Homo-oligomer: A and B are copies of this chain.
């Protein structure tokens, strides 16, 4: 089996930091194509520093099954429960990307403002952890139950916000998940800016679908650029 996708997972960690989606926190995983009930993710560490030997294998209970005794992120249940609920999803990003956060803590909804953000769909759902465990949690997805509830809020969407915390983005592939995580942040910034100027003329649902389908045919183009940028720095 070719393990090229593990190199892509390492690269995706670096790209997401370099493009401002991840900082010292956040994570990206990829489903194991040969064992769909397993996924790869880094051990608990800053994504900017992840290398091949830092990757671990988890099962859908969120347990590390290899290598022995290595710990991954507390919030691995974000990944395991979305992989369980969404068989077509093969990569998951959890981030605190900054322009997105305001849409989780106000009544304004994140919506597709241009043809690069059609994947946001009609509007982006917001997960409120208080509904599950009350008003004194540390907001982390610390259990399978919370992961399941988040996955339920996500539904069939590409992105869900987490109130006071961040967001989760999913894709059919690493490249699609990275594309969506970066353009969710870009689109949120555009919406913040446009909201200064008055009412916004968003994409229709049909435009959102059509532009999302169109962009799926061009995932390689920005990936090449992001890759080149990150490699210049290393």
Contact = CB atoms under 8 A, between A and B. Distances in A.
A34 to B, nearest CB: 31
Tell me how many chains of this kind the complex includes. 4
A84 interface: no
Contacts of A61: none
A204 B200 CA distance: 27
Interface in A210-234: 210-211, 213-214, 218, 221-226, 228-229, 232-233
Contact of A221 (B25, B140, B213): B25
A120 to B, nearest CB: 12
A53 interface: no
Interface residues of A, number: 68
A109 to B, nearest CB: 10
Interface in A180-234: 186, 189-190, 192-204, 206-207, 209-211, 213-214, 218, 221-226, 228-229, 232-233
Given A49-B224, A136-B206, A136-B209, 4 more contacts: A46-B222, A102-B197, A164-B203, A192-B193
